Amino acid sequence: MGSMVGASVVRKEDPALLTGRGTFVDDIRLPGTVHMVFVRSYLAHARILSVDTDAAQRLPGVLGVWTHADLDGLPATRSVPGMERPCLAKDKVHFVGEPVAVVVATDRYLAADAAEAVVVEYEELPVMASVAAATAEGATPIIDGLPSNVVLEQQLSATDAEAELAAAPHRLAIALVNQRCAAVPMEPTVCLADWQSSGLTIWATSQTPHHMRNEIAQMFGLSQQEVRFVAPDVGGGFGAKASFYPEFLLTAELSRRLRRPVKYVETRSENMTSMVHGRAQQHDVEVGFDDEGHLLALRVRITQDCGGWPDSTGIGLPTLTSFMSGGCYRIPTIAPSFRSVVTNTTPVGSYRGAGRPEASYMIERVVDRVAAELGIDPLEVRRRNFVQPGEMPYATQFEGIVYDEADFPGALDKLLEHVDYAALRAEQAQRRADPTAPLLGIGFSTFVEMGGFGPTPLFEQFGYVGGWESANVRLNVDGSAVIKVGTSPHGQGHQTAFAQIVADRLSVPFERITLVHGDTATVQEGIGTMGSRGVPVGGSAVFKAATKVRDKAIRIAAHMLEADESDIELADGRFSVRGAPDQGVDMAEVAVRAFKPHLLPDGFDLGLDETAHHEPSNLSYPSGAHCCVVEIDRDTGKVLIRRYVAVDDCGVVINPLMAKGQIHGGVAQGIAQALIEEVTFAENGQPGTGTLVDYTLPSAKDLPRYETDHLVTPTSFNPLGAKGLGESGATAAPQAVVNAVVDAMAHLGVRSIDMPCTPQKVWRVLQAATRNGS
């Protein structure tokens, strides 16, 4: 059997999903299930004067209507102390879409009818749907009891870098916006709760079942054993399904009261206003540099719009942005600070990359601006500032933020093997000279991000028990193996990747390995899937558990073969004695023997069933170099991506086919942020992008082909050497695209443009520049 790790095997999970035999939450049928529908606020900021539920209560099929007052004692969802969000709005609504009441009826259509019949009387309050409005002089605090809308403010460095900036030969101020985006997993939020006397079972679209179980148990005062949380097949999450949503608690509470299973299925329109949004940061940057483009000092002031209620993960993201603000560069002084502001908009939480794409966009735009200012090639500025491979692991100025093994210049060199840079520059010059030709722009992104999330001290800050992951590997007596793992995938292919790891460790055929995940009743413990931790942390736990099983199996084999353990070899599912290959026993025989106490050494612990935890010694740091080549139509401003080339260093690649898929998906989201997507609110807080009609997701016509390649610098931070890569594409792509767009217009004096670079925006910039230029 050849090595499975590193092989492009097709996925085990696919046949079920491809034949309609997967199990998403809404596919689960429990007899007697009733349906919950929300009455949501249509105002962004208002006091609730009254909720009249009488008419709704009387409609056919309705089992009840509840407001906050009817659910006394139902706890709020966890957040920063003093900022906890009630499950249903208490006296005030903070954003359009905030739930005010719930209706339960025997059928979805009837429940929706009844929700329409609930009459809420509001007294409108001044709406602050932007950071500017929420921080204006005299702005009303949105959260009762707080002095202002600035809920958190922090300086993450000893200095504000003023002295270093003043001393630098050049100093440049840059304002950057990382616009609000929506995660839009194709499956919206769904949950089904069934409260029996034995306890509560809840099936829900979540990335973190164990964490959700812990939260729910605590909120209801139950033991963790009494709550079973199941995340079956989950249709995408992208970070947004890591948050705790009030519907989980509400369906549970109503199931308890009604003694029936209660299901909630979010509509897409609801999803667009109630699932956490991502990004939503403004950066006021000052950079000091010398004549050669060496970066000397960087000051970054981050303003985060955290929406109507601070999300417990969302509130922590500017810290990650701050930690990563230096990118892959050696900058002597970095001074990040941030403030988080509550506004009358949808709460902001994690979205693919969560805090790091914002940093990467910032520093990569800064590098390009420095290059433009000095008239130096942007690649040259990068090269002059890179942290060098010999300096790895590289301790940044932020405690605990240590970049692992990487080769930043090497990734760029590899990228340039795919891209004939000189030819592109020549073509660009030609195009500029010909007013009928579309403009050509070349953009780069040399990036580093965080993957393999843990360790525990960091994760505790986000409210998790720990940052480790757990796995159990059992060898069945028929020689097949089953893995239980605490990560809970939503498209990442853990079933396949982890089976590859175990196939190699135990020499068991890949086809005979099964994965169990996402169910707190069957999986021992877990943290979840986010922060590119699946393979680096979950996979490492699997590796360790499999190693324990292997060690134990070797002991048994040695006993059976009357040989020394150190002489036992395992290959092709068979144990043999070194030097005597015909003497051997196969894995299934060993598995059976594991249950025969009279044929084993005294005191042998029966069975081949081992659990292991992996606590990462630190985060890992995937990095890479991406290049985007764009064409801009001079008449319409439309940006066409002509080429997108990605070189990624995610350390050891377990399955190149799936790795490619992850990079594609991430890059697609990054391109979409650069060109298309933006969540908007009117001044009165009305969502401008509340459906998929208004919030344009890219279709197959909007996205290019991607070219991918890898540089493999294994990390020493985990036994697999894998750094994770789920978020790399989304982290790397926005600035590659925007740098290319700006580059295409650079000769006209254009130095910046805000995302998304829509045709209209590009056309305006182009018009203004042409007028000024000529």
| Segment near another protein (CB under 8 A); pick from 120-128, 295-303, 543-551, 662-670 | 662-670
Q: Which is nearer to another protein, 124 or 694 (CB)?
A: 694
Cα–Cα distance for residue pair 460/400, rounded to 1 Å: 14
Among 5, 13, 36, 750, binds another protein (CB under 8 A): 13
Using CB under 6 A as the binding criterion, the count of chain residues that bind ligand FES stands at 3
| Shortest reach from residue 482's CB to another protein, in Å | 22
3-state helix, strand, coil in the chain (%, to 5): 35, 25, 40
Looking at residue 60, its amino acid is: P
Q: Which is nearer to ligand FES, 416 or 692 (CB)?
A: 692
Cα–Cα distance for residue pair 181/199, rounded to 1 Å: 38
- Establish if 31 lies at the interface with another protein (CB under 8 A): no
Q: Which is nearer to ligand FES, 269 or 611 (CB)?
A: 269
Among 65, 502, 667, 745, binds another protein (CB under 8 A): 667
- Establish if 700 lies at the interface with ligand FES (CB under 6 A): no
| Shortest reach from residue 490's CB to another protein, in Å | 5
Phi and psi at 224, nearest 5°, equal -60, -30
Residue 83 CA, distance from chain mean position: 24
Site for another protein in 216-235 (CB under 8 A): 233-235
| Shortest reach from residue 629's CB to another protein, in Å | 16
| Shortest reach from residue 622's CB to another protein, in Å | 18
Site for ligand FES in 224-243 (CB under 6 A): 236
| Shortest reach from residue 665's CB to ligand FES, in Å | 8
Among 86, 97, 99, 188, binds another protein (CB under 8 A): 188
Q: Which is nearer to ligand FES, 268 or 642 (CB)?
A: 268
- Establish if 186 lies at the interface with ligand FES (CB under 6 A): yes
Dump strand ranges (E) for 89-197: 92-93, 99-105, 119-124, 150-155, 170-182, 190-196
Q: Which is nearer to another protein, 60 or 601 (CB)?
A: 60
Start-to-end C-alpha separation, the chain? 68
Cα–Cα distance for residue pair 356/536, rounded to 1 Å: 18
Q: How many CA atoms lie within 13 A of 279 on its CB side?
A: 30
Among 87, 129, 184, 230, binds another protein (CB under 8 A): 184
- Establish if 423 lies at the interface with ligand FES (CB under 6 A): no
For residue 301, count other CB atoms closer than 10 A to its CB: 17
771's contact among another protein, ligand FES, none, with CB below 5 to 8 A by partner kind, is none
Q: Which is nearer to ligand FES, 491 or 528 (CB)?
A: 491
| Segment near another protein (CB under 8 A); pick from 97-105, 209-217, 657-665, 717-725 | 657-665
Using CB under 8 A as the binding criterion, the count of chain residues that bind another protein stands at 58
| Shortest reach from residue 396's CB to another protein, in Å | 31
Among 40, 213, 643, 660, binds another protein (CB under 8 A): 660
- Establish if 20 lies at the interface with another protein (CB under 8 A): yes
| Shortest reach from residue 491's CB to ligand FES, in Å | 5
Give the helix ranges, DSSP H, for 25-170: 54-57, 108-117, 131-134, 162-167
Cα–Cα distance for residue pair 456/338, rounded to 1 Å: 24
- Establish if 491 lies at the interface with ligand FES (CB under 6 A): yes
User: 526 near 470, Cβ under 8 Å?
Assistant: yes
- Establish if 22 lies at the interface with ligand FES (CB under 6 A): no
Measuring CA to CA, how many Å separate 761 from each of 351, 577, 767?
25, 71, 10
Q: How would DSSP label each residue in 338-404?
A: EEEEE-SS--B---TTTTHHHHHHHHHHHHHHHHHHHT--HHHHHHHHBPPGGG-SEE-SSTT-EE-
- Establish if 14 lies at the interface with another protein (CB under 8 A): yes
Q: Which is nearer to another protein, 231 or 363 (CB)?
A: 231
- Establish if 11 lies at the interface with another protein (CB under 8 A): yes
Place of tokens 């009254």: 50
Q: Determine the 3-state secondary structure of 249 from DSSP.
A: helix
Looking at residue 120, its amino acid is: V
Site for another protein in 474-493 (CB under 8 A): 490-493
- Which token pair is 276? 């956490």
| Shortest reach from residue 205's CB to another protein, in Å | 10
Q: Which is nearer to another protein, 454 or 539 (CB)?
A: 539
Nearest to 190 by CA among 23, 26, 33: 26
- Establish if 693 lies at the interface with another protein (CB under 8 A): yes
Based on C-alpha coordinates, what's the Rg of the chain?
A: 28
- Which token pair is 582? 């015909």
Pattern 694-733, another protein, x by CB under 8 A: ---x-xxx-x-xx----------------------x----
User: 53 near 118, Cβ under 8 Å?
Assistant: yes
Among 691, 760, 767, 772, binds another protein (CB under 8 A): 691
Q: Which is nearer to ligand FES, 271 or 520 (CB)?
A: 271
Q: Which residue is nearest to ligand FES (CB)?
A: 186
Q: Which is nearer to another protein, 431 or 660 (CB)?
A: 660
Cα–Cα distance for residue pair 339/362, rounded to 1 Å: 17
Strands 34-40 and 262-265: parallel
User: 753 near 368, Cβ under 8 Å?
Assistant: no
617 CB burial (10 A radius; 0-12, 13-18, 19+)? middle
User: 1 near 570, Cβ under 8 Å?
Assistant: no
Determine the number of helices (DSSP H) and then strands (DSSP E) in the chain. Answer: 20, 28
Please report, as ranges, the residues that interact with another protein according to CB under 8 A.
Answer: 10-11, 13-22, 24, 26-27, 29, 108-109, 184-188, 233-236, 238, 265, 267-269, 490-493, 657-658, 660-662, 664-669, 691-693, 697, 699-701, 703, 705-706, 729
Task: Return residues touching ligand FES (CB under 6 A).
Answer: 186, 236, 491
